[in-house]
Structure 1
Amino acid sequence: MYNINFNVPIKVHFIGIGGISMSGLAELLHTMHFTVTGSDAKMSTTTDHLEELGITVFYGQRPSNITSDTNLVVYTTAVKEDNPELMEARRLEIPVIDRAELLGQVMKRYSDAIAVSGTHGKTTTTSMISQILLEAGLDPTVSVGGILDSIGGNIRIGSSDHFVVEACEYTNSFLKFSPTTGVILNIEPEHLDFFKDIDDIRSSFKKFTELLPENGLLILNSDISDISYFTKGLACPFITYSITSETSSAEGALHHYYAGNIHYDEQGFGRYSLYEDGEFLTDVSLNVVGSHNISNSLPAIALARSYQIPMSVVADSLTRFTGTKRRFEKKGTISGVTIVDDYAHHPSEVKATLEAAKNYPHSRIWCVFQPHTYSRTRSFLNDFAESLSLADKIVLTDIYAAREKDPGDISSKDLEAALKKKGKDVIHIKNFDDIQNYLLENCTNGDLLITMGAGDVVTIGNDLLGL
C-alpha cells in the first residue's frame, strides 16, 4: 500500500472525480494544498464546483490525462483494469490506490473518526450526527454520501479532531478505514454480486467492529439478529438502541436508548419519547418522515450523549434536520400532485419509504420505480414485488445497469409480472418521456408521486416540474 505523507503535498489524479465520495476526497486534498486533477465521463454540478475551486477536470478518460509528474492515482471499485488512465498509471509506475484506502489514510489524521455503517440509513444518520456536532460547536470534518444542505454539499472541512464519514460495506471497503467510533444501523442481504450470503455480510461487519481500538466505541441497533456475535470479544465499550425494545438484547451494553410512544404528525413527521436505560429523557420531534428515520436518529443521540452535548441542543438540532437530497425529498407540486424523490433501491428501503408515505397527505400513492442493477433485481425480485405492493399505482422503468452488463435473463418485465400476480396496478414503460406523458394523463389532484431508485429516475420528476 502507498502511504501518503500529508505534510508533503503531491499531485493526485482521481479517476471518476465526479462521484459523490471521490469529489469530496478531491476537495479535501485540495484544501491540504495538494495539486488535484481528475476525470469524469461528463460535466455535472459536482464537476462545475470542483473546477470553481481550481481543480482541473478532464471530460472523458484517456491516457493523456495521466502525466509523468502525477504522484498518485485514486480510483473506485467501479473502474475496470482496462481503464485507459489506470493502465497508463501502471505503465508509468505511478502508485495507485482505491478510494477506500485513501479515505482510511485520511481518517488516521483524526483522533476521533466516526464511521457510520449499515445496509440502510447511512447517509441520513451521518448527516444527523454531523448536524448535531456542528450545532454543538465541535466543528467536524464530514464526508457524506449525499447532499446535506447544512454543509452545502457532501464534504465539510472542519478544524477539529472530529471526522464523520459514511462507511459502505460493498467490496469490504469499510475494512480499509481507521475508525475510533463505529455505528452499525442494520444488517440485511445486499450487494449479493459481491457477498455470498447473509453470513458473509455479517462476517464483514464483525471484522469492521474489530477495527475499533480499546478507547473506541461501538453503537449498534439492538434489533440486529444475534447481536452478541458482534459484541462478544469486542475491544471497546458498546451502546445499543432500539425502536421496538425498551431493554438491550446484548449483555454488557454501556447504555441503551429506546424510542417509545412513537406517533406522526399530519405531515408524517416522527414524534417519540426518548428513554436512556429506562429513564425518560425528553420528547423528540423530527422533520423527516417514517419509523426508519426515528431509528436513524437514535445512534446520533447516543453519540451526542457520549460527548456530553446538552440534550436540548441535540433535540433542537434533530428538529431542524430536514433530510438530505434524494431521501424523501419533496421536489414540488404540479396540478395538485405532490412529487417526492427517494434513493430507495433495496426492498427494505422501498418498504420503509412507502410506509412513510402512507403517513403523508395523499389521495393515491404513485411509485415510479427504477430497479438498480440486474443482480439486485434478480436476487430480490419477490421482495421488491412485496414492498412495491404498498403503492396504489406502480410505473416501472427499465433496469438501471450501473456497473453491470445485461445478462439477458432478468428485466423489469419480470417484476411487472410478479406485481400483476399480486393484483397490483402496474405498468412497465421504457422511455422516460412516455412515462412523463402517462403520469400527466393519469395523476390527479391530491395524489402523491414518488420517483424511486438510485439511478437517474429523479429526472422524471425534475422534468415534470421544469427543474
Structure 2
Amino acid sequence: MTTKKYFFIGIKGSGMSALALVVHDLGYQVAGSDIDQYTFTQQGLEAAGIPIYAFDATNVQPDWIYIAGNAFTDDHPEIKAAHDQGYQVIRYHDFLGQLMQDYTSIGVAGTHGKTSTTGLLAHVLSGVAKTSYLIGDGSGKGVADANFFVFEADEYRRHFVAYHPDYVIMTNVDFDHPDYYHDLEDVFSAFEQEAKQTKKGIFAWGDDPNLRRLQTDTPIYYYGLKDTDDFQAVNVQRTATGSSFDVLHHGEKLGHFVIHLFGEHNILNSLAVIGVSYLEGLSMNEVAAELLTFNGVKRRFSEQKFGDLTVIDDYAHHPSEIKATIDAARQKYPNQELVVVFQPHTYTRTKALMPQFAAALDRADQVYLTNIFGSVREQQGTVSSADLGAEIKHGGEVLTLANMTPLTKYQQAVVIFMGAGDIQKYEKAFEDLLNK
C-alpha cells in the first residue's frame, strides 16, 4: 500500500509545525512550505528531516494531500493551485479533528495559558502512558499505539469546534481576537459550544465567572484554591525555587505535589493536569514525579544570564498573560528590579484592550515598548505603541531596533521581553549590546 503524503502549506506556524511532526512520527511522508525567513519552529522540522520549501505554486504536485494553515485564505497561490488541480485540501483544524478520533483525546482551550498547560499535560501523561501530543510552541510527537492524544485547542474563528474530544481543560474565557469576535459574550458562546461537544468531562478554572456559567450535559470539574472547587490546592507554598501544595478532591487528599515552576497560574495548570489524570485512573505518585521534572515549554519564561542580568523571553501578548508572567518573575526574583519590553500584537487587540494592557504592564518596575506587530489578518490601525505608552505610569518609552541602549543602564535586574510577534529580534539586539 502506498504511504499517504501530506504537504503542509504554512508549515512553520506553531500549530502546523507540531502537527507535521505528529504526522511524520506516525510514518507518513511529510513536506511543507512557508516564508523564506527563519522561525524558531523550523528547528524541530529540520531535525526530523522534513523538507521546507519557499511558497510557490509550483510546489503543488500530484499524489499529495494538502494541509492548509489557518493563517492563509483560499487565494493563497498554493492553496488556489491545489484547488484548481483538483487535489484534496484540508484545513488544519479539520485534519486535527480527524486525527484524534482513535485516541482518548484531551484538548486545552482558553484565551490564554493554553500552551503552558498543554506542554505540562503532555509531559506528565507521556511519562505515565503512551501519549501523542501537539503543543502550540511547535512541539509535536506521534505515537501510533498511544493511549492519549493531547492537543492545544485554538478558539480563533471558532476553529476548536471542529473537535469532539473526550476531555477539555478550559483555563479561562476573556475577550480577545477583536478582529473576529464581537464581544466577550461572542467568545463565551464559542467555548460553550465546544463544552457541549466534549464527551467525558470538562476541567474549568473555578474563579472564572464565565466558566462558572457554562451550560452543558457534560460533567464539569472546577479546579482552583477555594472550597467550592472540585480539585483544590491547599497548603500552598511559593518560594524562589518553585511551588508546593496538597490537592483535595471533594475533601479527600490525592497527594502532595511540587513543581519547579513559578506563578499562581502554574499551580492552577498543575491542578487541571492532576484532575484529568485522576479521572483516567493514573497513579498520583507517578503524576507527582512527572510534575517535578517539567521545565516549561518554548518561549514561556525562557531564561538566560548575562553577568548580573537575567533576560527572559515570553510569549505573553494578552493582559492576563502579562500579569501571570510578572507574577512568576516576582516569585522567582523577589528582590530584583523587573524591566519589561513589550511588543503589542495586532492593532485591533491593542486598541480594544489598551486600559487592561497599561494596568498589567504597570505591575513591572519599568516598561518599554516596541512598535506594534501587525497581523497578516488586519490593516494598520489608528492606534500606536506611543498611545499605549502614554497610558503607562512606569515608563512607556518606545524602543527601536537601532537603539536598544536605554536598557543597558540596568544592573542586577530582570529584563523580560514579551510578545507573540518578532520581539526576539529586539531581544537579540539587546543581547548583542551586552556581549560587546
Q: TM-score normalised by the shorter chain: which range applies?
A: over 0.9
From 35, 52, 55, the counterpart of 1:57? 52
C-alpha RMSD of the superposition:
2.1
Any idea what SS the aligned residue of 2:371 has? coil
SS at structure 1 position matched to 2:93: helix
User: Distance between the aligned counterparts of 2:210 and 2:11, measured in 1?
Assistant: 39
Question: How far 1:228 moved relative to its partner?
Answer: 5.4
Instruction: Give the alignment partner of residue 218 of structure 1, picking from 193, 202, 205.
Output: 202
CA distance in 2, matches of 1:450, 1:54: 33
Task: Compute the displacement of 1:13 (Å).
Answer: 1.8
User: 2:98 matched to which residue of 1?
Assistant: 105
Q: What do residues 225-250 of structure 1 show as CA deviations (whole Å, max 9, x unaligned)?
A: 154542x441x33322112x2124xx
Tell whether 2:165 aligns with 1:179. Answer: yes
Which one is further off, 46-55 or 319-328? 46-55
Deviation of 1:159 after TM superposition, in Å, equals: 2.7
1:424 paired residue number: 394
- Which structure 2 residue ranges, 5 or more long, are not aligned? none
Paired with 2:212 and 2:258, the residues of 1 have a C-alpha distance of 31
Partner residue, 2:108:
116
Q: Which amino acid aligns with 2:45?
A: L
Write the deviation string for residues 334-357 of structure 1: whole angstroms up to 9, x where unpaired: 231111111110001111111222
Question: What is the aligned partner in structure 2 of residue 251 from structure 1?
Answer: none
Query: Cα distance, 1:54 vs. partner?
Result: 4.1
Matched residue of 1:289: which SS?
coil
Q: Does the 8 Å contact 1:373/1:403 carry over to 2?
A: no
Work out which of the residue numbers 224, 228, 234 in structure 2 matches 1:247. 228
Matched, 1:276 2:249: yes
User: Does residue 201 in structure 1 map to residue 183 in structure 2?
Assistant: no
- Per the TM alignment, residue 464 of structure 1 is displaced from its structure 2 partner at its CA by 4.1
Could you tell me which residue of structure 1 aligns to residue 386 of structure 2?
413
In the TM superposition, what is the alpha-carbon distance from 1:51 to its structure 2 partner?
A: 4.5
Segments of 5+ residues of structure 1 without an aligned counterpart are 1-6, 148-152, 249-255
Is 1:188–1:198's contact at 8 Å kept on the other side of the alignment?
Answer: yes
Matching residue of 2:282: 309
* CA deviation vs aligned residue, 1:372-400 (integer Å, no higher than 9, x gap): 11111011011100000011111100001
Please list, as runs of the form range in 1=range in 2, the aligned pairs for 1:294-333 lying within 5 A after superposition.
294-330=267-303, 332-333=304-305
> Is contact 1:20–1:154 with CA below 8 Å preserved after alignment?
no
One-letter amino acid of the structure 2 residue matched with residue 53 of structure 1 = A
Q: CA deviation at 1:318?
A: 1.2
Name the SS of the counterpart of 1:108 in structure 2: helix
Counterpart residue number, 2:231: 257
Quick one: distance in 2 between partners of 1:132 and 1:306?
14
Residue-by-residue CA offset, 1:193-233 (whole Å, 9 max, x unaligned): 111111111111111012123xx222222222154542x44
Matched residue type, 2:418: M
Q: Does 1:90 align with 2:56?
A: no
- 2:260 aligns with 287
Aligned to 1:253: none
Question: Taking structure 1 as reference, are residues 105 and 372 closer, same or farther at Cα in structure 2, changes over 3 Å only?
Answer: same
Change (3 A) 1:38 1:266: closer
TM-score by length of 1: 0.87
Distance 1:291 1:374, change over 3 A: same
Deviation at 1:9, TM superposition (A): 3.4
Q: Which residue of 2 aligns with 1:155?
A: 141
Match of 1:128 in 2: 120
- Work out the CA distance in 2 between the residues paired with 1:357 and 1:27: 32
Shift of 1:71: 3.8
Q: Supply the distance in 1 between the matched residues of 2:47 and 2:271 (Cα, whole angstroms).
A: 37
Give the paired residue count.
431
Q: Structure 1 residues 229 and 405, CA, compared in 2 at 3 Å: closer, same or farther?
A: closer
Paired letter, 1:140: T
- Return the alpha-carbon distance in structure 1 between the equivalents of residues 245 and 123 of structure 2: 20
| Contact 2:188 2:210 (C-alpha < 8 Å) held by counterparts | no
Check the 8 A contact 1:333/1:465 in 2, yes or no.
no
Relative to 1, partners in 2 of residues 1:285 and 1:462: Cα closer, same or farther, differing over 3 Å?
Answer: farther
- Structure 1 residues 351 and 39: CA distance shift in structure 2, 3 A: same
Scaled by the length of structure 2, what TM-score is found? 0.93
Query: Would the aligned equivalents of 1:140 and 1:158 in 2 still touch at CA under 8 Å?
Result: no
